[in-house]
Structure 1
Amino acid sequence: MFKIFYEDIEIGVEETYGNYAVTREEVIDFAGKYDPQPFHLNDDIAKQSVFGALCASGWHTCAMAMRIMVDRMMAEGFAGMGSPGVDNIRWKKPVFPGDTLSVRMRTTEKRPSASRPNIGLIKGAYEVLNQKDEVVMTMETNAMVLRRTPAAG
C-alpha cells in the first residue's frame, strides 16, 4: 500500500500537481454550510465587495487544496499519518467559480520524531495556484510520515 516513506522525502524538491475545477454550485454550497458571508452567496452583494464577484471562502480554498493534496498522496502511496497542524495560511487572491486550482509544494525541513520512532516529521511550503499560475493561497504544513525503518529506541 505505501510506497513513499520518510526516508524517500528530499528537502528542496518542488512539485506541482492537481487540477481542481471550482464550480459556482460548490462555492455557494460550502459557503451556505460553513462561511455564509454574503459575497460568497449573492452575486449582487459580491459585485459591491472588494472581490467584485462571487468568490470561494478562504476555508473552501483550504478544503479544495486538501483534496488535491490527498488525491496525490493516495495515488502515489505516500505513508502520511496525519498532521499536527498548518501554519501561516494566507489568502492572496480570491478564487472564483470557473477557476482551476493546482498545488505547488516544496519540502523545507524533515526530522525524526523524538517521541515516536516509527514516524518522521516533514515541513512543506505550499502554494495554491489558479489556471493563470497566480498564487491564490499559501501555507506551511507539518506532516507525520511513517519511517521505512523505525529508529532504535
Structure 2
Amino acid sequence: MPSSQQQDREAPRRPLSDFISAHVVSKDISYKALAARSEDPVTGQQVTDQWIRDVASGRLRRTPDLWRLRALAAGLGVDLDEIRARAIQQYLDYEVATVQTGDAEWVTVSVPPSLTPEERRRVAEMASEIARMMDKPQRDGQ
C-alpha cells in the first residue's frame, strides 16, 4: 500500500480545475453565470460556459491562452497571478511558490512538483528567511 507521501506525489494535479469547481459550488452559481462575468479586461473577449466546464472537468488538455486566464480571473473575482499559478501547475506541471518578504516585495521560487505539501511549505519558509537575512544587513546599515 502506498504511503500518504507517495499518494500526494502520484495524485493528479488539477489546481485550476479544482479551484473553479470549488468556486461554483461555494458561490452556488452556474457555469453560465460565471461565464457571463468572465470578460478579459484587455481584449473584451468572453469565455463560454462550455469552456469553463471543460477546464473544471479536466477535459481541456492544452494550456489556456492568456486572455482566457484574464477573463477567468475577472469572472472568479481573483487576482490573475493566482489563476496563472494554478494553470502553470496544472498544465505545465511546474509549481511556483511566492512569499511576501515586505510590504510590496515578494520572492518567487520554482518548486518541484514531486514535493509534498509540507515540503513545499518548508521551501517557502526557507526562501522567506533567506530574503529576511539578506535584507537585515541593509536595514542595519541605514
Report if TM-score (shorter chain) is over 0.5: no
TM-score using structure 2 length: 0.26
Q: Relative to total residues, which structure has the larger helix share, 1 or 2?
A: 2
- Greater length-normalized contact order (CA 8 Å, ≥ 6 residues apart): 1
TM-score using structure 1 length: 0.25
